Amino acid sequence: MAEEKIYTIPLREAYKKAEGKRAPYAARLIRSYLQTHTKAKTVKLGQELNKAIWSRSIRRPPRKVRIKAVKDGDIVRAELVGFEYKEFKALPKAEKKGAKEKLMDRLGPKAMKKEEEEKRIEGKETKTESKEEAKQSEKEETTEEAKEEKKAE
C-alpha cells in the first residue's frame, strides 16, 4: 500500500556550496533526506519539484521545500505539496549549428537560391547537377549510337 507523508526539507546546506553547484546539490539533499526518513532505496523527484529547485537558476535554490512523499515498496515518489506526481525525462541535447547553418536558417530559401546561382556562375557544379548531367549525356550517347547504327545499315 502507498504511504503518504508531508516533509519540510531544509536546503540551507546548499548555500555552503559554490554558486554554480547549488541547485544540483539541493536535489541531492532532497534525495538523501528522503532516503534516510523513508528507508527507501530509490527516490524519484517530480516535475514541479524539479522546476521549484531550478526556478531561480542554479545559484539560488529555495531555502526550504514542502514535499509530499508517496512510498510504494522500495520506491519513493516526491512532489511539491499541491501537485500530483508526474514523471519526466530530460530533453535530448540539440546539436549545435555552425555559423553557416545559422545564417542560412535566418536568410531562408532566397539565400540558398542565390548561393546556387553563384556556384553556377563560377563554374562549380553541385553533386545533384553533375548526376543529372551525367544521365543526360548517357542518353545522348545512346541516341547517337542508335543513329550511327541506322546509318551503317
pTM for this entry: 0.60
For residues 125 and 140, give the distance between their C-alpha atoms in angstroms, rounded to a whole number. Answer: 20
pLDDT of residue 145: 67
pLDDT of residue 141: 64
Residue 147 pLDDT > 80: no
Residue 118 pLDDT > 80: yes
Non-local (6+) Cβ contacts of 119 within 8 A are 125, 126
4-49 tens-digit pLDDT? 999 999 999 999 999 999 999 999 999 999 999 999 999 999 999 9
Q: Are 31 and 77 in contact (CB under 8 A)?
A: no
Question: b/e for 20-52, b at 16 or more Cβ within 10 A?
Answer: eebbebbbebbbebbeeebebeebbbbbbbbeb
- Side-chain-side CA neighbours of 126 within 13 Å: the count stands at 11
Question: At residue 133, what is the residue type?
Answer: E
Cα–chain-centroid distance for residue 104?
22
The pLDDT confidence band at residue 77, using thresholds 50, 70 and 90, is: very high
Percent of the chain surpassing pLDDT 90: 53
Mean pLDDT of all residues in the chain?
Answer: 85
- Residue 74 dihedral angles phi and psi, to the nearest 5°: -100, 5
pLDDT of residue 32: 96
pLDDT of residue 72: 92
